[in-house]
Amino acid sequence: VVNLMGRTFMGDFDCPFRAMDKLLAELEPKPPVIIVDFHAEATSEKMAMGRYLDGRVSAVLGTHTHVGTIDAQLLPQGTAYVTDIGMTGPIDSIIGDDTESVLQRFLTAIPHHLSVGKGKVMFNAILVRIDDDSGRAISIDRIYREVE
């Protein structure tokens, strides 16, 4: 499992595309299964990474924005891809934080501590089936559950 950080709207980090190229070149022997957790803000950057690594890794799974996307797919060269897995956290919230805390931050533009929302919880996940020998993804499915 490799964790990469995106750069768009995130900060001044090393290029994740070049960092992954370097890592793949240095892996000896290259494991058949490589899963990339791409922690990034911009959907376009996540999609570009999926296409860039298609056929070179087993899966590119986007994280960070807390909102699960419905674009889970197998890319043409056999890489499983989703723009964002989604969060595990309170449903009655704004990306996991107490609604009133977030609204006050937007209304006043004054930074303050955000508290975690309460109540029923959502669980988001992705299930990827991968061929052990080839490292190619066989399927990718979203999982969403609500838990009391």
Answer yes or no: are the C-beta atoms of 1 and 94 closer than 8 Å. Answer: no
Answer yes or no: are the C-beta atoms of 74 and 139 closer than 8 Å. Answer: yes
Q: Show Cβ contacts of residue 81 under 8 Å, excluding neighbours closer than 6 positions.
A: 47, 50, 54, 59, 60, 61, 71, 72, 73, 74, 75, 140
146: phi then psi, degrees, rounded to nearest 5: -110, 135
Q: What pTM was estimated for this model as a whole?
A: 0.90
- Tens place of pLDDT for every residue, the chain, 148 residues? 999 999 988 888 899 999 999 999 999 898 999 999 999 999 999 999 999 999 999 999 999 888 888 999 999 999 999 999 999 999 999 988 999 999 999 999 998 889 899 999 999 999 999 999 999 999 999 999 999 8
Looking only at the bridges linking them, the beta strands covering 80-82 and 73-74 are: antiparallel
Answer yes or no: are the C-beta atoms of 25 and 17 closer than 8 Å. Answer: no
CA distances to 10, 65, 68, 95 from 86, in Å: 18, 7, 4, 9
Superfamily (CATH H level) for 2-147: Metallo-dependent phosphatases (3.60.21.10)
Tokens of 83: 């723009």
